[in-house]
Structure formats: C-alpha cells, structure tokens
Structure 1
Amino acid sequence: MKKALMLSSVASMIDQFNMQNINILMELGYEVHVACNFKEGNTSSKERVKEFQKELRALGVKVNDIPIPRSIYKIHRILKAYIEVKRLASRGKYDIVHCHSPIGGVVARLAFRKERQKGTKVIYTAHGFHFYKGAPLLNWLIFYPIEKLCAKYTDCLITINKEDYERARSRFKGNKLKVVHLPGIGIDVDKIENTKVDKEQLRKELRIPKGSKVILTVAELSKRKNYECSLKAFAKLDLENVVYVICGRGKYYDVLNNLIKKLNIENKVIFTGYRTDIHCILHIADVFIFPSYQEGLPVAVMEAMAAGLPVICSNIRGNNELVIDNEGGYLFSASDSNKLSQRMKMLLTDRKTCERMKNFNKNHIISCGIDNVNQRMKYLYDSVTGEKKQVWSEEINGYCEK
C-alpha cells in the first residue's frame, strides 16, 4: 500500500489546515502517517490537541509525536527533532512526504534527502515565507538562504500568495523543482455563508451587551498579529455601544490584557479564548479587523469575507490579495492606529457601505473555495508521483495534458 507522511512543527497546523489533504491522500489509496509536536507550541487548546489525536487514530492515521520546536533559536531541539525524523524516514518507506511550517519544512527536507534519491517525493507548503517585501533584514539573512538551500531537496513547492510564488519561481532552483501557487487551503464558502446560529444566545454566552455592535478579530495572541494597533485604534473610537471581540489564545495574553487596562477599555474588550464555533461568531459581528504584520494568505480573513463581513486589514502580502481597498473593506498601514480607528467608525456608522462590501466579498472569495483547492491538490499529489501526466493551467483554470 502507498504511504504518505504529513509533517508539521505542531499539531494545530495539521488540525486547522491539513485535514482536507489527509482525506485526499486517503481517497487516493495512501496509508497516512502524521508527525508533529503534540505537546507544546500549539495554537489550539490542550483539550483540542488530545481530541485531535483521537480523531486521527479513529481515521486509521498513525501518529508520531516528535518534539519539533517553533523557534529557530532552539538549535539543540531542532537537531534532536532532525534525528527523530531521519529515523522515521529510514523505516517509513514513504512515497510522499508533505511538510509544513518553516522549521518542520526544513527538518523534513533535510532528513529525507537520502530517501528522495530512492524515489520519495517531497512536497513543501510555504504558508508565507518569513522573508518578504518590507521584512526585517535579519529575516532575509536567516530564512532566505535556508529556504533556497532546501529548495534543492524539494520536488514541489506550494506557495499560497503571489509574492512568494514569483520569488520562489525566479530565485529557487532545484533538481526538477516544481513551484505552484494555490489560493491557500480553501474554505467551505457555502457552509460558512449558510451557518445557522442563535445570535441572541451566542451574544449572551459571550457577554456582549444587548444592542452593541461587534468588531471581531480571529487570530493567535502573538506580537505578529499586531493587537497593539487594533486595541489603540479601538480605544480612540468615540462611539457608544461597541465591543471588540478577540478569538484566539497565545502567550501574548498578559501583555494585551495590561494594555487594555492602560487604555481603560476593560469593559469593552472580550477575550473568548480558543473557539470551535468561529463560523457562528462571524455571523454576530459587524466588522472584521486584521492588523497583522505578516501573513501568508489568512484563512481568518477568507472566512470573514465568506460570512459577508467588511474587512479592515493591514496592507501586507496576503491580506492585500484578498481584500480590495474600498470594495470589500479597507487597507491601512500596520502602524497607523489613527487610520484604523477612522475606518472602524466609517463602517460602524455607514450601513449602505457595509452592505455593498458584504456583497462584494461574498462573490470575490468564491475562487478560494475548498472544492477548487481540493481538486488541484488531488492532481498535484498524482502528478508529483507521476501517476497523472497533467499540469495545472492558469489560463483555463483547470488541468491539461503536458
């Protein structure tokens, strides 16, 4: 039986972004194994990680708990993870390895060099390179040469935004390296749009005051997500009956909580923690904001668009491929809390503009639908192993003969 390995630094990456890929591989007749860190570094709760392990085993997926760190500075632990993955590579006899996340992707591609010479095909999905236009110089000095090196040990490099795609295609060279561009992992547009929710009950559960408008952000609580900007912008709003709901968990909670107290907005900001009903929460929001410093192609923004929310987001790679300024929302500089606050007020007080942006986003996001992405992933898995002699054509938005 054909075998495939799905590898990432942490379990939450696979849970949130790769279950469709696992299902596709199983449909194609592969025995699927998973390798990642189940114990720490996850953006979902410990309870969810444990439940995820059970779900994988129930599907017949073999679980390998490997302590891959998320920090590039934990060299000793990276080396330890490399040794474990190399052992897994030598005994696994995998036909396909699909790896994710910067450190997980590097560890996997280096560990599978020998097996790749024997026929194992290595696929790496870059969920947003750490080197990008405007990135810190240190990012370019560290991550760029590492990714360029590892491209030599990659059969297929999947990029999820156009900037990464163009850079990888022009600068990365490898033995038969194939660089492709996909619109993220895909989202279930119909499911999100038609989610049934008891809005009154959910608002009550989240302690949202009756009659209040809701500004929403869904993201990990980390410095990279730039909550300082959104909180400062929210504090400047001179509107009554507005709350800011933040869905996510992370190590940055205490920092943000202290800032909220300093800004004197404790009674207007609601932390929900990790939630499994984001699609429902989207339907009780009025405006979605996403001030992140760095993204690949954010699922949170795609889902907000599918739910019909106007989106205000930072003008960065990934975000500006999804949100068309003045059409589906507004773009702003990630450091400009004044502009963000102005845009919040405009959307909270202009129902006609919100309705126009709602309709635009629901139509615009259809191309990121899960059926489209899944079709392309299915053929990609087949084509990288040589089982399909077809390639994706952007001109016809479909597959054609080589």
Structure 2
Amino acid sequence: MKKLLFISNISNSVGSFAVASIEAAKRCGFKFYYASNWDAATEEQMAADEKKYGVKLFHMDLDRSPYSTKNIKAYKQLVDFIKKENIDYIHCNTPVGGLLGRLAGEKCHVKKVMYQAHGFHFFDGAPKKNWIIYYPIEKWLAKKTDVIVTINNEDFERARTFKLRNSGHVYYVPGVGMDLSQYNIPDTVREIKRNELNLKETDFALISMGDLIDRKNYKIAIEVVAKLNNPNVHYFICGKGPEEVDLKKLAENLGVKEQVHFLGYRNDIKELLKAADTFLFTSKQEGLARSLMEAMASKIPCVVSRIRGNTELICNGVSGFLCINEDEYISSLEKLIESSNLREQFVEKSYENLKNFSIEKVEDCMFDIYSKEFIKNDI
C-alpha cells in the first residue's frame, strides 16, 4: 500500500482542512499520515480522530513562524519519520509546512512532493517586502516541487510561471471543501441565540470571525459601525488575538462600546451565524476565506473586502458587496439594512455559487490529482 504524508502547521483535531484529501487518498488506496504540531490536541482527541478517519497522526514540534529555530527540530523529526515509514508521496500545506515538507522530501528522495498554497504572501497589491522576501523563496522551492495546487485563480496564474521539478504541473482546486449539510441549522436556533446575545427584534446584527490581527483589519469595521450612526446595529467579533485591547479602546473612543461585542473564541459559530443578519469581512489578505464560505453556507448576506479569493466567491451587487473603502462599506450596509429583498437575493445567489466549493467537488478534484500525479505517473 502506497503511503501519503499530509503536512500542515498547527492542529487541534482532524478538521475540514484535511477531510477532502483523506477521502481522496482512500479512494486511491493510499495509507494516510497526517503530520502537524498536535500540542493543542489531547491524546484522547488524537486517538478518536485516528479511528474516525482511518489515519495515522504524527506530531512534530513545528512553529507557525518561519523564523523560529523550533522548525529545525521539526525538520529533523520529519526526515526521520519519512525514512522510518518509507513515505511515497508528500502533500504539504501552509508556508512553514510547505517549506519543511519540500526540504524533507528532497532530502529523503520522496517520489513526488505536492504543495498546496492556501494564499501566496505575494499577490496583486501586496506590500513590496512580501515580494522581496517570499516570491524568490517560492520560486526556489518550486524547483523542489512536483505539483502545486492553488485555491484561487490569481495564485494559479502566478504558479504557472514557476519552474517545477521534472516539468511538474499546477492545478486549481476550489478550496478545501465545504460540507454544506453542517450548516442546516433550525430556524428556532436564531431566536434562542439572539436572546442570548440580548438582541431585540429591531436590531441588525453584523458578525465577523477570525484572529484579532492587523491582517483581518477589524479597525475599519469598527469605524464603519461608528459612522453608520445607527444604535440598532450591533457588531459581534468572534476570535482572540494581540489587537484585542486596542480594538476595544477604539470602540470606546468612537462611542460604540455598547454596539461592538468581543465574544472571544467560540465553539458555536454556526449558531451565531444563524443569529446574524450580515457577515462583515474587512480582511486585507486571504487565499480563499473559509469564514466567508461559512457565512455563505449559513445563508446570510455578505459585505466583504475586494481582495483575491473574495472576488471568486462574491459577485459585486449580485451575490453580495465587494468594498474598497469605508464609504463603500457604509453604503453597502445601509442598503442591506433597508432592504430585506436585497438580502434574500444575495443569499440565494451566493449559496448557489458556494455549491462549486463543496467538499464533494474538492474531493473529486483531489482524487483526480492524486490519480494522475501519484498513480499513473508512478507506473
């Protein structure tokens, strides 16, 4: 039985990030190994996931920062594991996992190495330093890579300009796969959750999810809430991060402390989305945002930044609003607050488009790639 090693960064469970690849590998008859930093997972969780998904989990002391010396140890752990298990193929993900996976793959003479880019750090409009640092590194790593998979079209076109090992191939896959059935939340949940959030029937709830970091650009979202000057608008932020104190101070200074609610890390995102009226997403950079797809799956209208990835999920004025500045966010939200018909139109159109990013579609794509690259070319 051929052995496939799937590599990511930091994991607390086997989640949606890997499921489509696991199922595709099973269809190919591969044994699936999942390497990650599992410090956030309990032994019981790991054992349960191994049994549930039929995989083997391997811990490495990887750090999310590419500059951390811990990654030297993680690299050595990977090399030892690959040699011990006689791994045939590597499917590595994320910047650090992609770096270590490709270096270890070359060191161990793995038959084929695939890298799945979830959003290059160099992109149209990216800071110059991103291009100076990350672009040449990715071009260099491409020479150690047999297959590159991208999840948005901008990255796909750029990856096609790289010279891959053995004249390798570049593919586009629509994300990591959304299980739309998980978002069929009963309508009764909306009233229950809104009561928990102390929302009145006349209140209009905005919601965002993600780490409280500069890239997510919550600052502009809070400023937009203030400039709407509508006491019935409430904005719920799900997540934690280093900017939390400054963002709370900003909300207080702008006089919207009672309208901006920091909910921290939540396990009830699906229910919170059901309670919300609009998803507000002001991020500066994404590959293909899962949080946006979750909102679309939850059938709420979306007002999002006009960036790579978002433009593939939302058609401006048809299935949502794509915004560049504060004025556009404000006018877009005002239109949605005033028109339930527009909200319904956006929900219908965006959900129809989201079906193209379903887990079934992605699993089929990964199966085709695994079959072509790891089976047919290995005969």
Tell whether the structures are fold-level matches, with TM greater than 0.5.
yes
1:371 equivalent in structure 2: 360
1:72 equivalent in structure 2: 66
Q: What is the deviation of 1:376?
A: 1.2
Structure 2 Cα separation of the partners of residues 154 and 14 of structure 1: 25
Structure 2 Cα separation of the partners of residues 175 and 135 of structure 1: 30
Aligned pair 1:33/2:24, yes or no? no
CA contact under 8 A between 1:379 and 1:388: conserved in structure 2?
no
2:74 equivalent in structure 1: 81
Structure 2 Cα separation of the partners of residues 188 and 28 of structure 1: 21
1:225 equivalent in structure 2: 216
Aligned pair 1:113/2:106, yes or no? yes
Q: What is the deviation of 1:237?
A: 1.4
SS of 1:145's equivalent in the other structure is helix
CA contact under 8 A between 1:7 and 1:99: conserved in structure 2?
yes
Structure 1 residues 220 and 352 mapped into 2: Cα distance closer, same or farther (>3 Å)? same
Aligned pair 1:155/2:146, yes or no? yes
Structure 1 residues 252 and 22 mapped into 2: Cα distance closer, same or farther (>3 Å)? farther
2:18 equivalent in structure 1: 18
Structure 1 Cα separation of the partners of residues 359 and 174 of structure 2: 10
CA contact under 8 A between 2:304 and 2:321: conserved in structure 1?
yes
Gaps of 5+ in 1: 40-45, 390-402
The aligned runs of 1:264-303 (5 Å cut-off) are 264-303=255-294
Structure 1 residues 354 and 225 mapped into 2: Cα distance closer, same or farther (>3 Å)? same
Structure 1 residues 312 and 108 mapped into 2: Cα distance closer, same or farther (>3 Å)? same
2:175 equivalent in structure 1: 184
- Amino acid of the structure 2 residue aligned with 1:196: P
Structure 1 residues 173 and 2 mapped into 2: Cα distance closer, same or farther (>3 Å)? closer
The aligned runs of 1:128-277 (5 Å cut-off) are 128-192=119-183, 194-197=184-187, 198-277=189-268
Number of residues paired by the alignment?
376
CA contact under 8 A between 1:82 and 1:107: conserved in structure 2?
yes
TM-score, reference length from structure 2: 0.92
Identity within the alignment, %? 35
2:57 equivalent in structure 1: 63
Gaps of 5+ in 2: none
Structure 1 Cα separation of the partners of residues 71 and 226 of structure 2: 41
Aligned-pair RMSD on alpha carbons?
A: 2.2
SS of 2:215's equivalent in the other structure is helix
CA contact under 8 A between 1:6 and 1:98: conserved in structure 2?
yes
The aligned runs of 1:337-376 (5 Å cut-off) are 337-376=326-365
Structure 1 Cα separation of the partners of residues 88 and 201 of structure 2: 56
1:90 equivalent in structure 2: 83
CA contact under 8 A between 1:68 and 1:81: conserved in structure 2?
yes
Q: What is the deviation of 1:14?
A: 5.6
CA contact under 8 A between 2:13 and 2:46: conserved in structure 1?
no
Say which is worse superposed, 284-293 or 363-372, in terms of deviation: 363-372
Q: What is the deviation of 1:67?
A: 1.9
